[in-house]
Amino acid sequence: MEMELKSRRYTVPDLGGAMELCFTNGWTDGLPVVPPTAERIRAMLEAGGLEPGHQLAFIENRQISVTTEKVAINAVMAGCKAEYMPVVAAAIEALGDPAYGYHGPATSTGGSAVFMLVNGPIARQLDINSGDNLFGPGWRANATIGRAVRLVMRNVIGTLPGELDRSSLGHGGKYSYCIAENEVDSPWPPFHTTRGFRSNQNAVTIFAALAPKQYSNGLSATPEGILTTACAHMRVSAGTGRQPQYALVFAGEHQATIKKAGWSREDVQRYCFEHSQSTMAELKRINIMAGDVKPEDERAMYPVVQAPQDLLVIAAGGNAGVQSAIIPGWGSKSGSQSVTREIKVKK
């Protein structure tokens, strides 16, 4: 029995007409889209084992139900293969989690994007890039999965630039911000195991994130040396004094150094939590914290996150080169929290 689709249909003369219709109606992110024909939409739903009317998320502040049919339409438009649909669906489920708090990061002038980290066998099956040119172009899965989530935000939830989306600056991750973790070479168990999943399960983590800040350290042969550089950049990049969470992405050569020394993920978290702190006096002097500098402020330390576990330690990036990255989270103190959801693959 054929799936019943309820979305409005449009008749156009050809492919060019279909794309122009999408541009005219504001359904694109500024780039051309794939016309979402009924056949393509059904293929997307079937690949995910999903019924069209199933609700994946409910966005409380907008009072909007996000159904699988609408998600499939936007996944087609983004250029996804049908087999990507389970990843997109899991990310949309995570968007509706109260811990993520959709309204804040989506509407703030702060300019966050939905960073997505994919773990488990599916990342390799779908060829989601975890290596060279990590945050750059070149991989269909990365580009289109992340883009699909953003198109859902735009076309279903109404997160339009200059309207609901009030970002002052934004960044390239608002087109697509999707990577996989390099579980093969990582010094640590896969990231999703920190969220209670088994390593052989598939999961996606979303994180309301600012742009990645790349740093280099080719001088240090110890974890302490590399992390000292990372912490220096974290202190500068913590624009509100304290973030709700912070992602630390370690590429190949830095991974190898940390692995050789036997440092666990928890070791990295503890070291960075301790050494990325600033004095309240410094934060006041650089106008991140309000108030006059008092003598006691010279000794009072202020961490960039509330606890070591708020540092999300991830292994990804090219094997050659001495670059890694820090990614500040959106908001301050009790802002948006990262959320992990299982990717449910059709049996």
Looking only at the bridges linking them, the beta strands covering 178-180 and 278-279 are unpaired
SS3 72: helix
Cβ proximity of 189 and 310 under 8 Å: no
DSSP symbols for 271-303 = HHHHHT-EEHHHHHHTTSS-S---GGGGT-EE-
Q: What percent of the chain stands above pLDDT 90?
A: 83
Express each pLDDT in 260-285 by its tens digit: 999 999 999 999 999 999 888 988 99
Q: Is the pLDDT of residue 291 over 70?
A: yes
Higher pLDDT, 56 or 4: 56
Domain definitions of the chain by residue range: 11-210+336-347, 211-328
Report how far residue 23's alpha carbon sits from residue 5's, in angstroms, rounded to the nearest whole number: 23
Please report, for residues 19, 28, 108, 177, 309, the alpha-carbon distance to residue 148 in angstroms, rounded to integers and kept in the order given. 16, 10, 21, 11, 30
Residues, the chain? 347
| Span between the terminal Cα atoms of the chain, in Å | 19
What residues are paired with 215 via a beta bridge?
A: 324
Q: Which pLDDT score, from 0 to 100, does residue 235 have? A: 84
| pLDDT reading at 307 higher than 60 | yes
Quick one: pLDDT at residue 242?
64
pLDDT score of 19 more than 70 = yes
Q: Give the confidence band of 99 by pLDDT, cuts at 50, 70, 90.
A: very high
Q: Residue 230 and residue 165: Cα distance in Å, rounded?
A: 31
How far is 217 from 7, CA to CA, in rounded Å?
Answer: 52
Greatest alpha-carbon span in the chain: 75
Please tell me the predicted confidence (pLDDT) of residue 110.
86
**Residue carrying structure tokens 């693959």:** 345
How many angstroms separate the Cα of 342 from the Cα of each of 202, 310, 315? 6, 20, 20
Q: 342 is written with which tokens?
A: 């299982």
Contact 335, 101 (CB under 8 A): yes
The gap from C-alpha 96 to its chain's centroid, in whole angstroms, comes to 14
- Report, as an integer, the average pLDDT of 200-207: 98
How confident is the model at residue 316, as a pLDDT? 98
- Asked whether residue 334 carries a pLDDT value surpassing 70, the answer given is no
Written as six digits, the tokens of 281 are 């006096």
For 146-161, the pLDDT digits (tens) are 999 999 999 999 999 9
Burial of 196 (0-12, 13-18, 19+ CB in 10 A): exposed
pTM: 0.94
Please state whether beta strands 323-328 and 246-250 pair in parallel, antiparallel, or not at all (unpaired): antiparallel
Mean pLDDT over each residue of the chain, to the nearest integer: 94
pLDDT at 239 over 90: no
